[in-house]
Amino acid sequence: MTPPAAPSSSKPPFSWLSVGLLALGLLGALFFWSQAVGALTLGLVPSLRNLMPGMRRGSLFALALSGALVGAAFLLSAVYAMRRLMGREEPLPWHRAWLRLHRAVYWLGPLAFVLALFMGVAVEGRTPWEWVFFPLAHVTAVIVPVWWWLALGSRSLRLEQSPQRRWGLVSAGLGLGPFASIMAEIGLLVAGIVLTAILLSGHPQLAARLEALGRRLAFSAGNPQALERVLRSAFSEYPWLVFALMASLGVVVPLLEEFFKPLGVWALMGSRISPAEGFLAGMLSGGMFSLLEGLFSTAVGEQWGITVLGRVGTSLMHIAASGLVGYALVAAWGKRRYLLLAAAYLLAVTLHGVWNVSVVTLSLGDMLNAPLWTRVLGGTGAGLVVLACLFIIVKLGRNGADSVVDEVDGPPQEAPLPVEKKGNEPHGLADNSD
């Protein structure tokens, strides 16, 4: 009689990527929750308000709520990374409930955005209503467009993916991409300052005037009205600053950000994924980049409503551009389509640059003394970018997106991580992200 076989070990394979995501999630949660506590303290303690004199209390509370939510996203990514290391790859218990809620409220997203916009404009500057309702309006008006564009782009994709991977991409998009972009931009800024100092070493009078301008900009950084006056004077006195601004926002910043935003996709280089999954991973990376940018850059200023409306187009641009690059990255790895990758990167940079220059021309037209035709051109450029980005997410996000690269390479490969089967129904963002 043959003895029964010994039970096989089900110890999960060790993954350095999961360890890195665990560390990133914990550090991100700690950082952003600390930021939330700091903003909340500034809003609650009157004696500390002088540290940020240009900030309303409602804006500080909006920053606190934004930090708390971003920190929670990092923590959820860390939880999934830990479960992956423990071999527990099934979704958390509330996964199904979130899917049902997502399908039920998807088409209510635009209505929620409009209501949040009206609420934020109505309560801004009106205490004490502003302290409670403005933070809610701000985070809703920033999060809903990002979620809606991501859902639109992934609605027709049939992908079965693990929540560990989706939330890992969320934390990478919130942490790695923005951090690397900021560090690169700071490095180039420092290099530019050093080069300018060297070039101005033979012109002491001009150097002194620029140094005085720098001090004025630093002193007015916390006061939007004072900053506008300083910039208006600077652009009038030094017209070449307009060219420098447009060149940096239209060329340098897009080149850097479109390279660093899809860092989460780069981390999947060794995985057997399809270009369609690369597209989704890129969209998530760009969406999280835009989410972080919007939550912490639009909570100040009196033109909150206009700024939030502009963020709708900015979010679409970031999502489409990063999705395009992520799609082409995977196509280059698996199908050696390197020319496609180069073309996709240049197109993403072009869309990003045209959008930045168009928005700056429209928003700073008076300050830059821009003629009417340049503002018309800026509005036209912004509209064309929106149409192009909509085409990208609809075209690449439709079912069978891999046929865009090569229709004869067979069906897309499934993600290598075990996942819960859901049948043949179309999958939207919620199914792919958690």
Half-sphere exposure of 267 toward its Cβ, with a 13 Å CA cutoff?
25
Q: Which residues of the chain have pLDDT under 70?
A: 1-14, 49-54, 94-100, 102-104, 160-161, 218-228, 298-302, 366, 368, 399-434
- What pLDDT score was predicted for residue 432? 41
- What pLDDT score was predicted for residue 358? 93
Instruction: Give the residue extent of every domain in the chain.
Output: 16-202+239-415
* Tokens (6 digits) for 164: 């560990």
**Which letter, b or e, does each residue of 163-181 get, where b requires 16 or more Cβ atoms within 10 Å of its Cβ?**
bbbbbbbbbbbbbbbbebb
What sign does the CA torsion over 413, 416, 421, 425 have?
A: negative
- What pLDDT score was predicted for residue 173? 92
**Other residues' Cβ atoms within 10 Å of the Cβ of residue 276:** 28
Amino acid at 131: W
CA distance 419 to 215: 56
Q: What is the dihedral of CA 287, 303, 310, 137, to 10 degrees?
A: 50
For the chain, the average pLDDT equals: 81
Question: Is residue 424 within a helix (H) or strand (E), and if so which, with residue range?
Answer: none
pTM reported for the whole predicted model: 0.85
- What pLDDT score was predicted for residue 165? 84
- What pLDDT score was predicted for residue 54? 63
Q: Which residues contact 432 (CB under 8 A, 6 or more apart)?
A: 154, 157, 159, 161, 166, 280
